[in-house]
Homo-oligomer: A and B are copies of this chain.
Amino acid sequence: MKQLGILLSGRGSNFAAIAENISNGRIPARISIVISNRPEALGIEHARKLGLNSLVIPSKGKVREQHDAEVIAALREANVDLICLAGYMRLLSPAFIRAFPHRILNIHPSLLPAFPGLDAQKQAFEHGVKVSGCTVHFVDEFLDHGSIIVQRSVPVLDSDDDHTLAARILEQEHIAYTEAINLVLSGDFEISDRRVLRKSTLAGNRAL
The residue that A194 contacts in the complex, of B113, B127, B153, B193, with Cβ under 8 A, is: B127
A131-B114 contact given A126-B194, A158-B202, A205-B159, CB 8 Å threshold: no
Residues of B near A202 (CB, < 8 A) are 158-159
A72 within 8 A of B: no
Instruction: Determine whether the beta carbon of B126 is less than 8 Å from that of A150.
Output: no
A163 contacts the other chain (CB 8 A):
no
Interface centre among A112, A125, A159 (most CB of B within 10 A): A159
In the complex where A153-B153, A197-B158 touch, is A127 in contact with B113 (Cβ < 8 A)? yes
- Identity of the chain B residue whose Cβ is nearest the Cβ of A200 in the assembled complex: B158
| Secondary structure type dominating chain A contacts | mixed
A2 on the B face (CB < 8 A): no
Neighbouring B residues of A195 by C-beta, 8 Å: 125-126, 128, 158
Chain A 123-135, CB within 8 Å of chain B: the 1/0 string? 0011111110100
Q: Which of B131, B133, B148 contacts A128 (CB 8 A)?
A: B148
A residues with CB within 8 A of B: 111-115, 125-131, 133, 147-153, 158-159, 193-198, 201-202, 205
The 9 A-B residue pairs with the shortest CB-CB distance, nearest first, are A128-B194, A130-B151, A128-B195, A114-B114, A158-B201, A131-B151, A158-B197, A153-B153, A131-B153
